[in-house]
Amino acid sequence: MEIRNSTAHDIEDIFKVYEQASAYKLQVGNKGWKGFKLAQVQKEIDENRHFVILEGSVVACTFVLTFKDDVIWKESANDNAIYIHRIATNPLFRGNSYVTKIVAWAKEYAIANEKKFIRLDTHSGNDKINNYYISCGFMFKGVSQIKWTPELPEHYKEGSFSLFEIAL
């Protein structure tokens, strides 16, 4: 297993994993993602914020980091934190506990970059994923109602989001 920055070469595989993860979310009765724009993913790659987890040469999982999240975390976004978004797992590798591996990696990354928190969010109402995030070391921090803006992905138009945090 290797975690590395995504490259333009990975884009096709990243979008395939996003599509598969979205389909799985809908299949199990959760709110699905509504797709992502190529320009957005390319920008994240160019900014060295988009990552893949490789098993051999296969993209097993993907995720994105941000360093501020005003829309979702509101006034808490001023805290010194990293925010993990869009964790998506290739169905061939589901069950390999990639979130725990991302958390271990994120702790090292955050400490090296003098961050005090690791945060993430997910659609509210999904007890299974909420409990999984808690089992990975996150604490539930509440629910955020957001005002959608055009720079956000479409799925943020729907409902509220549960907030999770690890204090370092």
Structure tokens at 23: 């389909």
Residue-range definition of the domain harbouring residue 14? 2-167
Report residue 53 as tokens: 């987890």
Question: What's the pLDDT score for residue 156?
Answer: 60
Q: What pLDDT is stored for residue 69 in this prediction?
A: 83
CB atoms within 10 A of CB 67: 13
* CA atoms of 53 and 62, how far apart (whole Å): 6
Question: Into how many domains does the chain fold?
Answer: 1
Identify the band that residue 128 occupies on the pLDDT scale cut at 50, 70 and 90: confident
Instruction: Dihedral sign for Cα 97, 112, 134, 70, please.
Output: negative
Residue 158's CATH number? 3.40.630.30
Q: Which two tokens stand for residue 48?
A: 């060295």
User: What value does the mean pLDDT take over residues 127-143?
Assistant: 93
